[in-house]
């Protein structure tokens, strides 16, 4: 609970900025006003002191005593009337002496420190104010000896006074009231206070307006964050019209982060969907052969098969078990590749693997036209840096797809070339067939697990749809890339790019 008497602290950033600006300006105005008032006070006091000291100097240079000053009283009217004629009056008396009798207070103290009248005729008697001023003087003799001006407090009034000791020991005190100085300082304080209040009001208004404009991008960020928390991952922070460079950098960084979050969430959802599909496909692929095995075994146990049917049933059970074994082996291979195993990398003769794979294909389909385009010359064939067993599986799977998915009489071309790209030498393996090819939609999903372009194809001949997934996983593990493209005319071209390696030096 907040204590009574304290202003509540603003919660908004705009309010805090505004209050901070107003407080800083108020402190600056107070310091400036204090300095201005002090300087004005010192200037006014300096002017009074100069006037008093000029009078003091004029009296000192005349070498007059009490009698001489009293004689001047009779000449005061004459001196006042002839002041316009020059700086001196009759008898060579300076006009400043006459002015001394006419301005503010002029007190003459006798040897005992008692105020005495200047004029003997009583035309200028000692006033009560003069007596109070004389009584307020702490030490007239010391003041006269110093020759400096001093401030004297007499009741509610302040005076600025100087003292002069005449030749006969009389002390003449000249004083000026400081009420004019106080009045001027008071008016200056009122003016500065009014101007300060106006400036603070203008600053508060301007700060609120500027803060609202400058901080508007933060409000957009809050709205964007709220929209994203509600599921709109495509929402982005718009470019601020009045934002500063720091806010612009923050908006750019947040938009980049939101893009990464959206990509990560999308990939996570896609991976989750693929995992569900993978589990469903794996279950389906394993359920079918298991159902066949269980059916044949139940018939065998119940004695419902004759001798020929038993032999056929056992053959079917064996083939289904072999197919399940191949499926499990492929799943294990993909699982190992997903875990990024430590492969044994060494220079591998890719042309040798291609020749062996082509020989196997020719043995299985002698009628298929087969063309090999390999670099000629010693050491010209493509050595790649990789795991020999994994690369042999890549070549075998690609040629196995050609064997299964294209007619036996359609020609196939296998090519190995060296290419340059990304600042690194690479070796490309291309397998070009003239089969039925793939539609763009099927080509985009060719590397998905358990995907078959023809779902009606027999599992005995079509496989489980993991061959291309294994090819992609092995190639990525080698730092390479695999791509599909339609063959001009008809068919499909599969291109595998792998990092090249130097041929091993013979022992």
Residue 292 CA to residue 79 CA, distance in Å, equals 145
pLDDT of residue 86: 43
Q: Is residue 467's pLDDT more than 80?
A: no
The average pLDDT across 146-152 equals 85
The confidence band for 3, taking pLDDT boundaries of 50, 70 and 90, is very low
pLDDT of residue 507: 53
pLDDT of residue 64: 60
The confidence band for 375, taking pLDDT boundaries of 50, 70 and 90, is confident
pLDDT of residue 95: 44
Distances (CA, A) of 84 to 62, 80, 88, 90, 101: 21, 9, 10, 13, 17
Longest dimension (CA), the chain: 170
Q: Is residue 351's pLDDT more than 80?
A: yes
The average pLDDT across 323-346 equals 69
DSSP code at position 238: P
212-259, pLDDT tens digit by residue?
A: 777 777 777 778 888 877 777 777 777 766 656 777 777 788 888 888
Q: Is residue 453's pLDDT more than 80?
A: no
Read off the tokens for 154. Answer: 């007499």
Q: Is residue 87's pLDDT more than 70?
A: no
**pTM above 0.85?**
no
Is residue 163 a contact partner of residue 172, using CB atoms and an 8 Å limit?
A: yes
Strand partners, 481: 497
3-state class (DSSP) for residue 315 = helix
pLDDT of residue 1: 44
352/16: higher pLDDT: 352
289-333, pLDDT tens digit by residue?
A: 777 788 878 877 777 777 777 777 788 788 778 777 777 776 676
Residue 443 CA to residue 147 CA, distance in Å, equals 111
User: 131-140 contacts: CB < 8 A, separation 24 or more?
Assistant: 133/105, 133/107, 133/159, 133/161, 133/173, 133/175, 134/107, 134/109, 134/173, 137/161, 137/163, 137/173, 140/109, 140/113, 140/171, 140/173
The average pLDDT across 350-378 equals 85
Which stretch of 101-115, 132-146, 341-355 has the lowest confidence by average pLDDT? 101-115
3-state class (DSSP) for residue 448 = coil
Task: Count how many residues are written for the chain.
Answer: 507
With 0-12 / 13-18 / 19 or more C-beta atoms within 10 angstroms meaning exposed / middle / buried, residue 335 is exposed
Which stretch of 25-34, 66-75, 211-220 has the lowest confidence by average pLDDT? 66-75
Residue 356 CA to residue 354 CA, distance in Å, equals 5
Q: Is 142 left (phi over 0), alpha (psi -120 to 50) or beta?
A: alpha
Read off the tokens for 127. Answer: 């006033």
Q: Is residue 84's pLDDT more than 50?
A: no
Strand partners, 164: 172
- Beta strand 370-373 with 412-421 is parallel
Is residue 403 a contact partner of residue 445, using CB atoms and an 8 Å limit?
A: no
DSSP assignment string, 96-107:
HHHHHHHSSEEE
The average pLDDT across 97-118 equals 64
Is residue 502 a contact partner of residue 348, using CB atoms and an 8 Å limit?
A: no
With 0-12 / 13-18 / 19 or more C-beta atoms within 10 angstroms meaning exposed / middle / buried, residue 466 is buried
Q: Is residue 479's pLDDT more than 50?
A: yes
Is residue 100 a contact partner of residue 55, using CB atoms and an 8 Å limit?
A: yes
Q: Is residue 211's pLDDT more than 70?
A: yes
């Amino acid at each position: 609970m907040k204590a009574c008497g304290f202003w509540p602290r603003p919660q908004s950033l705009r309010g805090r900025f505004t209050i901070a600006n107003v407080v800083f300006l108020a402190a600056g105005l107070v310091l400036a006003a204090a300095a201005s008032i002090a300087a004005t006070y010192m200037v006014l006091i300096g002017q009074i002191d100069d006037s008093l000291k000029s009078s003091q100097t004029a009296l000192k240079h005349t070498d007059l005593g009490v009698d001489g000053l009293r004689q001047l009283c009779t000449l005061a009217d004459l001196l006042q009337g002839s002041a316009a004629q020059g700086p001196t009056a009759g008898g060579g008396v300076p006009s400043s002496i006459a002015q001394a009798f006419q301005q503010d207070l002029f007190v003459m103290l006798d040897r005992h420190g008692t105020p005495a009248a200047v004029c003997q005729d009583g035309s200028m008697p000692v006033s009560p104010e003069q007596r109070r001023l004389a009584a307020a003087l702490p030490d007239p003799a010391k003041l006269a000896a110093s020759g400096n001006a001093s401030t004297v407090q007499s009741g509610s009034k302040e005076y600025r006074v100087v003292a002069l000791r005449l030749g006969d020991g009389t002390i003449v005190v000249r004083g000026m009231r400081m009420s004019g100085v106080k009045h001027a300082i008071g008016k200056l304080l009122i003016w500065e206070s009014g101007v300060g209040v106006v400036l603070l009001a203008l600053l508060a208004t301007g700060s609120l307006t500027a803060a609202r404009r400058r901080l508007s991008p933060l409000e957009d960020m809050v709205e964007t964050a709220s929209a994203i928390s509600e599921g709109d991952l495509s929402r982005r922070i718009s470019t601020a019209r009045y934002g500063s460079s720091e806010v612009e950098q923050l908006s750019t960084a947040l938009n980049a982060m939101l893009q990464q979050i959206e990509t990560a969430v999308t990939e996570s959802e896609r991976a989750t969907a693929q995992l569900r599909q993978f589990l469903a496909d794996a279950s389906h692929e394993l359920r079918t052969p298991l159902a066949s095995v269980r059916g044949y075994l139940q018939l065998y146990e119940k004695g419902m098969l004759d001798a020929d049917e038993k032999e056929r049933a056992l053959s079917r059970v064996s083939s289904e078990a072999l197919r399940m074994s191949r499926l499990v082996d492929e799943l294990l291979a993909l699982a190992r590749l997903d875990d990024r195993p430590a492969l044994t990398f060494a220079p591998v003769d890719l042309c040798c693997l291609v020749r062996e794979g082509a020989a196997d294909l020719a043995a299985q389909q002698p009628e298929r036209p087969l063309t090999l385009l390999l670099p000629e010359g010693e050491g010209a064939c493509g050595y790649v840096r990789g795991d020999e067993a994994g690369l042999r599986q890549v070549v075998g799977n690609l040629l196995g797809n050609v064997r299964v998915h294209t007619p036996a009489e359609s020609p196939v071309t296998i090519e190995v070339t060296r290419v340059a790209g990304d600042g690194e030498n690479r070796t490309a393996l291309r397998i070009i067939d003239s089969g039925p090819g793939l539609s763009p939609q099927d080509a985009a999903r060719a590397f998905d697990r358990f995907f078959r372009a023809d779902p009606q194809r027999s599992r005995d001949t079509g496989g489980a749809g993991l061959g291309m997934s294994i090819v992609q996983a092995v190639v990525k593990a080698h730092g390479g890339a695999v791509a599909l493209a339609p063959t001009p005319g008809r068919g499909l071209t599969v291109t595998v790019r792998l990092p090249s390696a130097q041929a091993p030096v013979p022992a």
